[in-house]
């Protein structure tokens, strides 16, 4: 009897639990249904501007005010080579009527703007002036205007455009500088021509000639020729932090601003940093039997660079005398100096040359800014001592 009562109680508890569960589900479903019917949530918006809590009659005025606020605070920029231009969004005129004509309830809608021919011309003229005509010649303006108009219609608050994304394929093939390294040994010219035709200067990285030409088989002298040409074409660029050594013995083909000494084993390299977010290309060509031409290609610069090598100091040469007792009046080209106590016979063996210290000064003029000049390199040419053979004979002596 007790066992039967226990089973009955368990069945009753189970049935009550099932009934309560069913009632809870019905209550939850009823609540959701009631709220959805009562509230009738409206998700209509234009960009980030929510219209669901507004009567349709207020849409126009409300949108006008909110779009005006957006235009005052939105930040749109287009940048290139470290320079950013703020885009004046006032050239876009909001069209509330067109926006409402296309409005779809419960959806995120686009804002409609008018960009007049005059407004577009003003915008593009500002871009051309800011980034120079040389760059603008490669600028795909129509594609940029399409993207800008689309972003404006979404009422995005912040947009940053890379101008380089809108440059045509020919832009990074612009010839920026050339230099001829002449008076070379024909064997060196042929070896360089056979070993390489181009080098890549990677974006936002330090370039190393030894790394770039590792395994090329070129000798130190041939690497020095390539490095010297590269030194000449990189002077009027944004490249900086040059690391290299000049050859104090300056080969016959070397000149101020075109004199780099490469010693691979010693780590004498030619390197510099490219701060731009795009790469450059260096072409090396055989011009004739004794000349190579080094050319630098890449996007045109918006900053104007001009460099000059200036002699900063002169180091006077020394004079060395080598004793030669065979010198006398009969010696050809002899120079005789008489004093009270002695006769001095001298013959010039080698002329002396003064040493020099040169600075490379680069002036950079960014759009709308004052020129800035900095020293980017130093070259020292050591003095060469004059040498005389000399014989000093005391008066009354032999």
What percentage of residues in the chain have a pLDDT greater than 90? 86
Range of the domain at 295: 175-301
pLDDT band at residue 10 using 50, 70 and 90 as cut-offs: low
d(CA 176, CA 296) in angstroms, rounded, equals: 6
| Non-local CB neighbours of 40 within 8 Å, separated by 6+ positions | none
Q: Is 19 contained in some domain?
A: no
d(CA 245, CA 214) in angstroms, rounded, equals: 19
Helices (H), the chain: 2-39, 59-73, 96-101, 117-131, 133-136, 141-153, 186-195, 209-212, 220-233
Cβ pair 178, 69 in contact under 8 A: no
Do 385 and 268 sit in the same domain of this protein? no
Task: Give the end of a domain, one of 301, 328, 363.
Answer: 301
How far apart, in Å, do the first and last CA atoms of the chain sit?
A: 158
Helix (H, G, I), strand (E, B) or coil at 158: strand
Do 161 and 240 sit in the same domain of this protein? no
Q: What is the DSSP letter of 318?
A: P
Cβ pair 278, 298 in contact under 8 A: yes
Read off φ and ψ for residue 293, nearest 5 degrees: -115, 130
Q: Is 24 contained in some domain?
A: no
d(CA 132, CA 235) in angstroms, rounded, equals: 21
- Nearest Cα to 183, choosing from 292, 271, 269? 292
Q: Is 13 contained in some domain?
A: no
Q: What is the CATH number of the domain that holds 345?
A: 2.20.230
Q: Is 39 contained in some domain?
A: no
Q: Is 21 contained in some domain?
A: no
Do 103 and 153 sit in the same domain of this protein? yes
Task: Give the end of a domain, one of 301, 325, 352.
Answer: 301
- Residues paired with 389 in a beta bridge: 322, 347
Q: Is 5 contained in some domain?
A: no
Do 278 and 255 sit in the same domain of this protein? yes
| Non-local CB neighbours of 329 within 8 Å, separated by 6+ positions | 336, 345
- Nearest Cα to 230, choosing from 249, 210, 216, 214? 210
Task: Give the end of a domain, one of 145, 166, 187.
Answer: 166
Whats the size of the chain, residue-wise? 398
pLDDT of residue 35: 45
- Quickly count: other Cβ atoms within 10 Å of residue 248's Cβ: 12
d(CA 336, CA 392) in angstroms, rounded, equals: 10
| 172-218 confidence digits (pLDDT tens) | 999 999 999 999 999 999 999 999 999 999 999 999 999 999 999 99
Q: Is 219 contained in some domain?
A: yes
d(CA 232, CA 181) in angstroms, rounded, equals: 9
Do 274 and 185 sit in the same domain of this protein? yes
| 240-291 confidence digits (pLDDT tens) | 999 999 999 899 999 999 999 999 999 999 999 999 999 999 999 999 999 9
pLDDT of residue 41: 78
Q: What is the pTM of this model?
A: 0.78
pLDDT of residue 336: 94
Q: Tell me the pLDDT of the chain averaged across its residues.
A: 91
Please determine, for residue 330, whether its predicted confidence score (pLDDT) is greater than 80.
yes
Please determine, for residue 135, whether its predicted confidence score (pLDDT) is greater than 50.
yes
Read off φ and ψ for residue 97, nearest 5 degrees: -65, -45
Cβ pair 89, 152 in contact under 8 A: yes
Do 297 and 251 sit in the same domain of this protein? yes
Do 156 and 65 sit in the same domain of this protein? yes
Do 162 and 183 sit in the same domain of this protein? no
Do 192 and 143 sit in the same domain of this protein? no
| 336-374 confidence digits (pLDDT tens) | 999 989 999 999 999 999 999 999 999 999 988 899 999
Own/partner contacts of 260-266, CB < 8 Å, gap of 24 or more, are 260/224, 260/227, 260/228, 260/230, 260/231, 261/224, 262/209, 262/210, 262/220, 262/223, 262/224, 262/227, 263/220, 264/210, 264/220, 264/223
Do 233 and 336 sit in the same domain of this protein? no
Do 158 and 65 sit in the same domain of this protein? yes
Q: Is 9 contained in some domain?
A: no
Give residue 96's region: left, alpha or beta (phi > 0; psi -120 to 50). Answer: alpha
Total domains in the fold of the chain:
3
Do 191 and 275 sit in the same domain of this protein? yes
Tell me how many degrees the CA angle 212-217-218 measures, rounded to the nearest 5.
80
Please determine, for residue 97, whether its predicted confidence score (pLDDT) is greater than 70.
yes
Cα–Cα separations (whole angstroms), residue 170 to 126, 138, 257, 344: 22, 7, 30, 72
Q: What is the DSSP letter of 107?
A: S
Cβ pair 363, 373 in contact under 8 A: yes
d(CA 143, CA 179) in angstroms, rounded, equals: 37
Cβ pair 307, 361 in contact under 8 A: yes
């Amino acid at each position: 009897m007790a066992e039967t009562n226990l089973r009955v109680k368990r069945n009753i508890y189970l049935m009550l639990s099932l009934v309560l569960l069913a009632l809870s589900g019905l209550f939850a479903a009823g609540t959701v249904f009631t709220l959805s019917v009562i509230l009738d949530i409206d998700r209509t918006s234009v960009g980030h501007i929510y219209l669901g809590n507004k009567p349709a009659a207020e849409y126009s005025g409300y949108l006008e005010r909110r779009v005006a606020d957006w235009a005052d605070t939105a930040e749109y920029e287009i940048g290139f080579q470290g320079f950013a231009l703020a885009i004046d969004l006032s050239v876009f005129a909001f069209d509330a009527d067109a926006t409402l004509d296309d409005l779809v309830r419960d959806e995120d809608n686009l804002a409609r703007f008018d960009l007049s021919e005059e407004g577009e011309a003003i915008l593009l003229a500002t871009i051309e002036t800011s980034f120079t005509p040389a760059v603008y010649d490669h600028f795909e303006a129509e594609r940029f205007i399409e993207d800008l108009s689309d972003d404006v219609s979404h009422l995005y608050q912040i947009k940053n455009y890379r101008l380089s994304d809108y440059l045509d394929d020919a832009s990074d093939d612009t010839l920026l500088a050339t230099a001829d390294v002449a008076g070379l040994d024909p064997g060196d010219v042929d070896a360089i021509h056979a070993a390489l035709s181009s080098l890549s200067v990677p974006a936002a990285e330090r370039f190393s000639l030894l790394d770039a030409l590792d395994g090329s088989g070129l000798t130190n002298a041939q690497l020095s020729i390539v490095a010297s040409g590269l030194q000449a074409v990189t002077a009027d660029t944004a490249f900086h932090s040059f690391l290299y050594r000049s050859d104090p013995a300056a080969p016959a083909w070397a000149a101020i601003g075109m004199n780099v000494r490469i010693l691979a084993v010693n780590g004498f390299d030619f390197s510099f940093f490219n701060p731009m977010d795009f790469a450059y290309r260096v072409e090396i060509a055989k011009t004739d039997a004794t000349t190579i031409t080094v050319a630098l290609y890449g996007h045109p610069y918006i900053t104007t660079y001009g460099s000059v090598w200036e002699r900063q100091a002169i180091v006077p040469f020394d004079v060395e005398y080598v004793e030669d007792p065979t010198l006398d009046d009969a010696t050809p080209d002899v120079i005789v100096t008489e004093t009270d106590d002695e006769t001095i016979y001298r013959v010039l063996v080698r002329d002396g040359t003064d040493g020099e210290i040169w600075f490379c000064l680069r002036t950079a003029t960014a759009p709308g800014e004052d020129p800035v000049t900095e020293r980017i390199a130093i070259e020292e040419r050591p003095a060469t001592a004059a040498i005389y053979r000399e014989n000093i004979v005391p008066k009354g002596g032999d």
